[in-house]
């Protein structure tokens, strides 16, 4: 079952858009895609520890991660 995220465009320029969503819609969307799962939170914590200790790699794009 897919989760729809209801949003309203509040500002639009040539290179960007700004949207507004309700907190409840955002939380339901995050829950549906797994951002509240224990494994995801643990991965974020590990990433933050790596960053603090200097174990980081600079990337120019997300495409580099897929190579």
Q: Which helix (H) or strand (E) holds 8?
A: strand 8-12
Spans of all domains in the chain = 8-66
Contact 30, 36 (CB under 8 A): yes
Q: What is the pLDDT of residue 38?
A: 92
Q: What is the pLDDT of residue 32?
A: 85
* pLDDT at residue 62 is higher than 70: yes
Q: What is the pLDDT of residues 21-59, one digit of tens each?
A: 999 988 888 888 888 899 989 999 999 999 899 888 888
Q: What is the pLDDT of residue 3?
A: 60
Q: What is the pLDDT of residue 34?
A: 87
User: What's the distance, CA 16 to chain centroid?
Assistant: 17
Residue 45 CA to residue 43 CA, distance in Å, equals 5
Q: Is the pTM of this model over 0.85?
A: no
């Amino acid at each position: 079952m897919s989760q729809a995220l209801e949003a309203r465009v509040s500002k639009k320029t040539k290179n960007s858009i700004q949207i507004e969503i309700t907190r409840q819609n955002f939380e339901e969307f995050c829950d549906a895609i797994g951002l509240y799962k224990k494994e995801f939170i643990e991965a974020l914590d590990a990433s933050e520890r790596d960053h603090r200790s200097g174990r980081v790699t600079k990337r120019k794009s997300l495409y580099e991660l897929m190579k």
